[in-house]
Structure 1
Amino acid sequence: MMKREGDLIMNKTREIGISIPIYKTVTVEEVVTKEELTYINHNITENQITVGTRFFNPSGQMIKEDTVFITGDNYSLLMSDSEVFEDGKELGVIRDADLWYVIDKVRGD
């Protein structure tokens, strides 16, 4: 094929030697010393509780937020007066210690 004036000859790659910024996601393990409840949303008609928490490191810096959905058997357990809870747990009453117990159960701790 004969090259005509004005024809475009393209090479799609080139060799370069430059630095460019890139963003990478890295997962690291960090010690958590405190967890705080940020919200509790109790949907009575759907038998569901949505709990928001925040995790803090030893310096007091918040390092992660989490959402836990309590449904099904875990919801029934939390609303019960089961013997797994400390003495005095009343049917339909949610105490802090009971909520933390079920959060840990949902997470598989």
Structure 2
Amino acid sequence: MKANRPTFNQVADELARLKAVLPRVPKFSGFGDNNHAAIEAQIKVLEDHMSRDDVHDCFGEDAVLFDFSQNTLDCALTALDWMTGDQAADEGLISAGWEAIAK
């Protein structure tokens, strides 16, 4: 079952949470993934109301503006799925995972 599409205010609240958690999350994961780049990608998706094509153009393998990272692309797609209501109903806010590892 899919989640409901968030309201404008819910998207604004999630943007605020992501921006607040960004400086408290370690820059790199134990796997070497750039957590900050992933959060910044999620912020961009929500701020720019990106489409799936936009996300792939911006963060995919052929992206010009950003170095490709599968983790960053996956996180951007997670934000897109949350924003469009395409995630599973039992999945929570995208910021919750980052808050769990924040200092």
* TM-score with structure 1 setting the length: 0.22
Larger proportion of strand = 1
More contact order relative to length (CA 8 Å, sep ≥ 6): 2
Query: Which has more radius of gyration?
Result: 1
Larger proportion of helix = 2
